[in-house]
A and B are shown apart, each in its own frame.
Chain A
Amino acid sequence: MTGKDHSSADDPALVRAAQRGDMAAFEELVVRHRDKIYARALSMVRNEEEAIDLSQEAWVKGWQRLPQFLGEASFGTWITRIVINLCLDHLRKQKRQRLQSIEAIDEDSGGVERQMPVVTVNPTAGLERAELRQRIDHALGHLSYEHRTVLVLHEFEQMEYKAIAKTMGCSIGTVMSRLFYARRKMAALLAGLRKQDLR
């Protein structure tokens, strides 16, 4: 397929060509999925430069691992899993280098989310998409990486509890409590509640 126009080929055909060493086919796969891969990295690390670097690294790793891709999941899902794992490694390294966040301490002390008042109005109703994204991004930044990752994997990747637990190396119970905490905290942050209101 080298030298051909790949834009009309479907993903499985592009993958097969790339597995034979056709870099133009792989470039077409990058073009198709780069925004999604970048968005996933950005939602997890919340830093534009790091998200670009990590998504680039994911594509290089994807090329290296192409011979192992058997087509059990779609190519998009497969390459997304690669970037998620890279982001998790990156975040774990970062965490080791700094003190635990306030959110993690909250979790350790236990039960903050149980005392949060329920947000009764939809705080995002009527917002423009750009403004909504900005508020969500800001709120995501207030979560520890463990809570943020569980939320991202569940809400954006539609992963089941069991798959999240496997990806993060924790129990299903931990996934459930982290997800509950993350959602409740997001609701409060999106509603503009102050930190002292949450206690």
Chain B
Amino acid sequence: MDYDAQLKLQACLDGELSPRRARRLQGRLAGDPEAQALLRELKATTGALAAFDQDLKLPESREFFWSKIEREIRRLPQPEPARAPASLLAGWRRWLTPAGALAAVLLAALLLGRPARAPQIESGLADSGALTYRDFAASATIVWLSYPAEDEFVADELSDTPD
């Protein structure tokens, strides 16, 4: 009996063969005493193992075993509570508030606005890199200062060059 036939015999015992293949195999091995002996051995082993699990008890009391599990569970990070879906009104309110504020500002600017005067851009000292932006309508003045000034860059670069 070759190894392949032995594995097929085992598969037949385990119900892993189709009924047709199982019948064919059984017919072929019916008169083979070696196959019959192997089949008996496999069945006896299976039968013996069936008893292993029965009546096996966890050797710890219910309370002690559970207390360890409970402690570990309580140590786990708590899942974040699910957020309630926002209502339609709340959704509109979120957008309406800033939009309303913007509309009010625009309206105030229209009502209180003075004749517009074009903004000005001035350069102070030519070599300082400073620029001034004035917007009279907004009453705003912004000054750009480039630092270090352009000529200082050149000086720095020169000082790094080897002699």
**B56 touching A39, Cβ below 8 Å:** yes
Q: What residues of chain A lie closer than 8 Å to B52, measured between beta carbons?
A: 43, 132-133, 136-137, 156
Closest chain B residue to A119, Cβ basis: B41
Asked if A160 is at the interface of the complex by the 8 Å CB criterion, the answer is yes
**A176 touching B11, Cβ below 8 Å:** yes
Q: Which of B34, B50, B53, B56 meets A118, CB within 8 Å?
A: B34
Asked if A69 is at the interface of the complex by the 8 Å CB criterion, the answer is no
A135 to B59, CA, bound (A): 20
CB distance from A123 to the nearest CB of B (A): 8
Q: Is the interface on chain A under 10, 10 to 19, 20 to 34, or 35 or more residues? A: 35 or more
Q: What residues of chain A lie closer than 8 Å to B3, measured between beta carbons?
A: 111, 114
A55 to B59, CA, bound (A): 12
**B69 touching A30, Cβ below 8 Å:** yes
**B53 touching A161, Cβ below 8 Å:** no
Decide if the interface of chain B is mainly helix, strand, loop or mixed: helix
**B56 touching A30, Cβ below 8 Å:** no
Closest chain A residue to B1, Cβ basis: A114
**B58 touching A156, Cβ below 8 Å:** no
Asked if B66 is at the interface of the complex by the 8 Å CB criterion, the answer is yes
**A52 touching B59, Cβ below 8 Å:** yes
**A52 touching B60, Cβ below 8 Å:** yes
A55 to B11, CA, bound (A): 31
Closest chain A residue to B73, Cβ basis: A63
**A180 touching B48, Cβ below 8 Å:** no
A190 to B53, CA, bound (A): 17
Q: Which of A42, A55, A136, A160 meets B49, CB within 8 Å?
A: A136
CB distance from A66 to the nearest CB of B (A): 11
A180 to B49, CA, bound (A): 14
Q: Which residue of A31, A36, A122 has the most chain B CB atoms within 10 A of its CB atom?
A: A122
Binding site for A on B (CB under 8 A): 3, 6-7, 10-11, 14, 16, 34, 37-38, 40-42, 44-60, 62, 65-66, 68-70, 72-73, 76
- 3 closest residue pairs by CB, A with B: A38-B58, A124-B48, A39-B56
